[in-house]
Amino acid sequence: MESSTWTWGQALTVFAVGFSGVFICLLILQIGVNLYSFCSRLIVSHLEKKKIKNS
Amino acid sequence: MDLFTTAVRGMGFVNLSLGHVIMWFIAITLIYLAIAKGYEPLLLIPIGFGIILTNLPLANLMAENHFLWVFYHYAIEKWDLIPPIIFMGIGAMTDFGPVIAAPKTLLLGAAAQLGVYITFFGALLLGFNLQEAASIGIIGGADGPTTIFLTSKLAPHLLGANAVAAYSYMALVPIIQPPIMKLMTSEAERKIRMKPLRTPSKLEKVGFPIMACMLIILMVPDAAPLMGMFMVGNLFRECGVVERLSDTAQNALINIVTIFLGLCIGATMPAEVFLVKKTLFVFALGCVAFAFSTAGGLALAKLMNLFLPEGKKINPLIGSAGVSAVPMAARVSQNVAREADKKNYILMQAMGPNVAGVIGTAVAAGFFLAMLGK
């Protein structure tokens, strides 16, 4: 984007895309962390059960 | 006689200007604040000394191919090496446990970027162009390396002012934030107690930096240098098998680059560049950015409480920790909460948005780069 000339339309686009983008990105990360935590806890409990069974 | 005149003309004293003296005063003030008040000493001391060095007439340390210029040109301006290396060190020092235990706090880190965008518009109204406005706005993220990273790419001529504003205001978080926090929350809200966080398993902690790095960089590739290094540093810390690398990243390496970063940033502030109207605007806008970022985090925390059932409500004070200044902003949340209720401990809960703020600011910088980078 040209640095010397700009329009308010461009500024609004930067604001809208940027701010909503940060929210969407961190929302997706939040969903990812929730899913990942759920799966890791499942794996950990499965491994623990297996360990108890074997012993 | 000619030789004598040449020798005298070659002295710095003869070439002194009022601007140089003002810059020495600013530099000594920064060094004083760092030593006497403990304001960000790791950065403000080398920055202050860098300002003195660059404002000694005829010393020419920032002239092309000279000592400090080489570091500045290759490590910051051209190749952007230093901010990602600092991020690796920060990653090695960061515990993502609070974020993993309470992922909803990630959104507070996003809301606390409000100041970045409000200031972006403020800077445009004051006559800055889009690139300059973005680099000033990012000060509101309260993250020094990200501010330097973005400014060096979008508006290198503002690097000195932006970096000093970012680090100065980071040091002033305990002064700027509490009045806004008290204004936006009621006594009852400040007294809300939160349940202790669960302790995430090692598997969760080891996998988090890999998963988060992939997700974030897939969404915002321009944030890759910062996020990639941040997460690899954290993996060094959490995996438990590369203690030497983790130790180097969070101690020796970050210390070495911090020395040169500070000196070079200070050296970008010769009087003729720094003592202009725009610098004053940068400092004023930086303060606005911090205030709105604090307010943004608090506002979202209050909004979230409207939808959370009784017993699961969050103390809105943790929202203000969404500005990245780690761990100072979380400590401020804790202090304000304890003023209302001496037995209220929210430090660990506030670390979640605090760490999320670091990610949020790097993502915001990535979006600015994607849209405004050349």
The pLDDT value given to residue A3: 57
pLDDT of res. B62: 85
* CB pair distance less than 8 Å for A17 and B99: no
Contacts of B363 in chain A (CB under 8 A): 21-22, 25-26
Which residues 150-169 of B have a C-beta within 8 angstroms of A? none
Which of 206-265 (B) contact A at CB < 8 A? Answer: 207-208, 211-212, 215-216, 219-220
Complex prediction ipTM: 0.89
Q: Chain B partners of A28 at a C-beta cutoff of 8 Å? A: 215, 219
- Yes or no: say if B123 and B288 are a contact pair by the CB < 8 Å rule: no
Residues A26 and B356: beta-carbon distance below 8 Å = yes
Closest CB from A11, A22, A32 relative to B110: A22
Kindly write down the DSSP assignment for every residue of B197-234, as one continuous string.
PPPPPHHHHHHHHHHHHHHHHHH-GGGHHHHHHHHHHH
- Check CB contact under 8 Å for B121 and A14: no
Which of B99, B107, B202, B303 best probes binding to A when mutated, by most A CB atoms within 10 angstroms? B107
CB contact under 8 A, A33 and B207: no
Say if the Cβ atoms of B207 and A36 lie within 8 Å: yes
CB-CB contact of B305 with B191 (8 Å): no
- pLDDT for B111 equals 95
Confidence of residue A8 (pLDDT cuts 50, 70, 90): very high
Residues B115 and B293 sit within 8 Å (Cβ to Cβ): yes
CB B120 to CB A15 under 8 A?
yes
Chain length of chain A: 55
A21 neighbourhood in chain B, CB within 8 Å: 219-220, 363, 367
CB contacts of B371 in chain A (<8 Å) are 1, 13-14, 17-18
pLDDT tens, residue order, chain B (374 aa): 688 888 887 887 888 899 999 999 999 999 999 999 888 899 889 999 999 999 999 888 888 888 889 988 888 888 889 999 999 999 999 999 999 999 999 999 999 999 999 999 999 999 999 999 999 999 998 888 999 999 999 999 999 899 888 988 888 888 899 999 999 999 999 999 999 999 999 999 999 999 999 999 999 999 999 999 999 999 999 999 999 999 999 999 999 999 998 999 899 889 988 888 988 899 999 998 999 999 999 999 999 999 999 888 999 999 999 988 888 899 999 999 999 999 999 999 999 999 999 999 999 999 999 999 86
pLDDT band at A1 (very low <50, low <70, confident <90, very high): low
Please, which residues have CB within 8 angstroms of residue B206's CB and are 6 or more apart in sequence? B235, B238, B239
Question: Which of the residues B146, B199, B211 would you substitute to probe the A interface, choosing the one with the greatest number of A C-beta atoms within 10 Å?
Answer: B211
Q: Exposure of B197 by Cβ count < 10 A (0-12 exposed, 13-18 middle, 19+ buried)?
A: middle
Buried b (16+ CB within 10 A) or exposed e, B260-288: bbbbbbbbbbbbebbbeebbebbbbbbbb
Could you read off the pLDDT of A33-50 as tens digits, one per residue? 999 999 988 988 888 888
Alpha helices for B308-346 (secondary structure H): 328-340
pLDDT of residue B6: 83
Average pLDDT, chain A: 89
Q: Do B371 and A3 touch (CB under 8 A)?
A: no
As a dihedral over the C-alpha atoms of residue B132, residue B134, residue B136, residue B138, rounded to 10 degrees, the angle is -150
Residue type, B174: P
Closest partner residue to A6 (CB to CB) among B129, B359, B364 is B129
B211–A33: do the CB atoms touch at under 8 Å?
yes
Q: Are B371 and A1 in contact (CB under 8 A)?
A: yes
Structure confidence at residue A29 (pLDDT):
95
Q: What tokens appear for B346 in the block? A: 């929210």
Q: Is the pTM of this model over 0.95?
A: no
